[in-house]
Chains A and B, each alone.
Chain A
């Protein structure tokens, strides 16, 4: 959609809106210089920033195991993954910046708690198997959420998601393969894998957000084609994907109510503890303080480095890197 610049002042908002709505309806991509409703812009900034923050905070639970990875091969895989996450954060901040909000401002909002990140990263990684469970379940849930975003109406976000989803799928397979090695390993390794899946299963289901009936932004996001499927639809899709995968891993999912429903053609599953979800969102999860604390500390302790780079660039012209 390239018909109108934001300052094409002669036309009123209604006319702009009609063009915008038509473009969205025709599955055209909205680009940074196109007119868009303020609320569309604000929703995207919020969603893309939170997505970027999640990549950055999400480095912590996994980086927690880099120095303890049990083989050099696994260590290399994990380092590469954490590096990719930093890269995803960079793509996403760039995508958010096309909407007129700078990375510094977004980071500031993360550090001051005015913008959120995915609640899943407030859970601790207590054993090596958690690295596998994160890859399989958390990345799996993220992919289920994100693949439809590759068709999101906002071009820069959709294009970032195409690149990110490719790498995420790779991580997810690696996580699955890590758990498979543990599941088929010694008794202690198998128990470690099962314990990790037991702890990460429900938090992964919460990643899809509140039930449709309570999801405040959903209807508008779907109308704008930012979102393509409801939270509950995606959650159901994820459960249906995971059940056979768990079976082939030789691991069980911690839900006594989980069973195939012939009539629906889907798995029924137990009730999610939404009180826990709300608690974690409000900052009372196991690691909220730790995660944001480390993030702030890294930023504050790095201030002199960023100042040095800026001072050097001012003296010597544009920085070389």
Chain B
């Protein structure tokens, strides 16, 4: 259960952090509100999940890169707005289906998932709406959205790797995810990316503490102040 709480908690923590980087940089004021809103929801989920595994601040601020269990997808840099939306689409559809399953079960994550699934439904809707607008918007937005979907595709396979202590029907999860993503992508006049959803070397790597290069830099920024004042409370 600790491994699973860390995996889900780190996913939420890291993606929340990335979305927090958008503050003051969004393309339109309404998106400042929306992105911060999603980031806050995810941070709330992260705090609940990490608290199931131990002390939230110790886990967030004092673990090193190799001990984080988030999927590589959520640590990917924001890039342009299309890149951020593609990451949101892939992740929020996954999280929505996953939390739906967890909420329906009686495992340790059912209470959290039951509450969070409503938030995640909103995140998913937000990502889908923007995928449609960008995909079926202008020539430029279409090209950017397609590039973003292609670039992040390789990180999606990991979302369906087994996680110790997380009891879900992974086949159903994968099938549901693929159907939902395909439907939105096609409606947005875009193409589902070709190629492997995850190469052998990426499969499950984040869950084992193997991350991509930008992640260490992200943690350095996130943890710097906390680590500079050992034992202080804030």
Q: List residues of A whose CB falls within 8 A of some B CB.
A: 56, 59-60, 63, 66-76, 79-80, 82-83, 86-87, 89-90, 93, 128, 178, 181-182, 185-186, 188-189, 294, 297-299, 301-312, 315-316, 319-321
Per the bound structure, the CA–CA distance linking A97 and B31 in Å amounts to 20
- Please state if B36 and A72 are interface contacts (CB–CB under 8 Å): no
Instruction: Give the interface segment out of B67-75, B111-119, B132-140, B152-160.
Output: B132-140
CA distance in complex: A302, B21 (Å):
15
Q: Is the interface of B mostly helix, strand, loop or mixed?
A: helix
Q: Which of B93-101, B164-172, B200-208, B222-230 lies at the binding interface?
A: B222-230
Contact of B232 among A186, A297, A320 (CB under 8 A): A186
A-B contact pairs, 8 of them (CB 8 A): A67-B20, A68-B225, A72-B56, A72-B60, A76-B44, A80-B36, A82-B24, A312-B137
Q: Is B175 an interface residue (CB 8 A)?
A: no
CA distance A306 to B232 in the complex (A): 44
Bound-complex Cα distance A89 to B31 (A) = 13
Q: Give bound CA distance, A309 to B130, whole Å.
A: 8
CB-based contact A305/B81 at 8 Å: yes
Q: Please name the residue on chain B nearest to A300 by beta carbon.
A: B27
Q: Identify the 8 closest CB pairs spanning chains A and B, nearest first.
A: A302-B27, A308-B137, A308-B141, A83-B36, A63-B23, A86-B32, A305-B27, A312-B133
Q: A302-B81, A304-B138, A306-B27 are in contact. Are A312 and B40 (CB under 8 A)?
A: no
How far, in whole Å, are A93 and B46 apart by their CA atoms in the complex?
34
The dominant DSSP class at the A interface is helix
Tell me, rounded to whole Å, the shortest Cβ–Cβ distance linking A111 to chain B.
14
Residues of B within 8 A of A301 (CB): 25, 27, 80
**In this assembly, does B39 line the interface, its C-beta being within 8 Å of a C-beta of chain A?**
yes
Report the separation of the CA atoms of residues A70 and B40 in the bound assembly, to the nearest whole angstrom: 16
The reply to whether A70 and B226 contact each other, CB–CB distance below 8 Å, is yes
- Partner of A79 from the list B31, B39, B141, B225 (CB cut-off 8 Å) is B39
A304 touches B141 (CB 8 A): yes
* A121–chain B nearest beta-carbon distance, Å: 11
Sorting the interface of chain B by its residue count into under 10, 10 to 19, 20 to 34 or 35 or more gives: 35 or more
Quick one: closest B residue to A189, CB to CB? B232
Report yes or no: B39 in contact with A71, Cβ–Cβ below 8 A: no
Name the one of B29, B32, B140 contacting A304, with C-beta atoms under 8 angstroms: B140
Interface centre among B27, B47, B136 (most CB of A within 10 A): B27
Question: Which residue from chain B places its CB closest to the CB of A69 in the assembled complex?
Answer: B225
A66 and B23 in contact, given A76-B47, A83-B37, A305-B81 (Cβ under 8 angstroms) = yes
Tell me which of A185, A303, A309, A320 contacts B233 (CB under 8 A).
Answer: A185
Asked whether B17 is an interface residue with its Cβ less than 8 Å from the other chain, the reply is yes
Complex: chain B residue closest to A71, CB-CB: B234
Q: Chain B residue with minimal CB distance to A294?
A: B24
Please tell me which one of the listed residues A67, A178, A185, A307 contacts residue B17 in the complex, with CB atoms under 8 A apart: A67
Specify which of B39, B47, B133 is in contact with A72 (CB 8 Å cutoff). B47
- Are the C-beta atoms of A89 and B229 separated by less than 8 Å? no
Residues of A within 8 A of B46 (CB): 72
Mark each residue of chain B from 36 to 67: 1 if its CB lies under 8 Å from any CB of chain A, else 0: 11011001101100100000110011000000
Interface 1/0 per residue, B211-230 and A, CB below 8 Å? 00000000001101110010
Q: Which residue, of B32, B37, B47, has the highest number of chain A Cβ atoms within 10 A?
A: B32
- The residue on A at minimum CB distance from B39 is A79
B residues near A59, Cβ cutoff 8 Å:
23-24, 32
B197 interfacial contact with A, CB 8 Å:
no
Query: In the complex, are the beta carbons of A75 and B20 less than 8 A apart?
Result: yes
- CB of A298 within 8 A of CB of B40, answer no
B20 touches A90 (CB 8 A): no
A129 to chain B, nearest CB (A): 11
Docked complex Cα distance between A69 and B224 (Å): 9
Q: Is the CB–CB distance between B141 and A305 below 8 Å?
A: yes
Compute how far the CA of A312 lies from the CA of B187 in the bound complex, rounded to whole angstroms: 12
Chain B residues positioned under 8 Å from A303 (CB to CB): 27
Q: A59-B32, A87-B33, A302-B28 are in contact. List 19 more A-B contacts (CB 8 A).
A: A66-B20, A71-B234, A73-B234, A79-B39, A82-B32, A83-B37, A86-B29, A128-B234, A186-B231, A297-B25, A298-B24, A301-B25, A302-B26, A302-B81, A306-B27, A308-B137, A308-B141, A319-B133, A321-B129
Determine the distance from Cα of A83 to Cα of B21 in the docked complex, in whole angstroms: 13
A181 proximity list for chain B (CB < 8 A): 233-234
- Known contacts A67-B20, A83-B36, A90-B29; A189 and B140 CB within 8 A of each other: no
B174 at interface by CB-CB < 8 Å: no
Expressed in whole angstroms, the minimum distance between the Cβ of A313 and any Cβ of chain B is 8
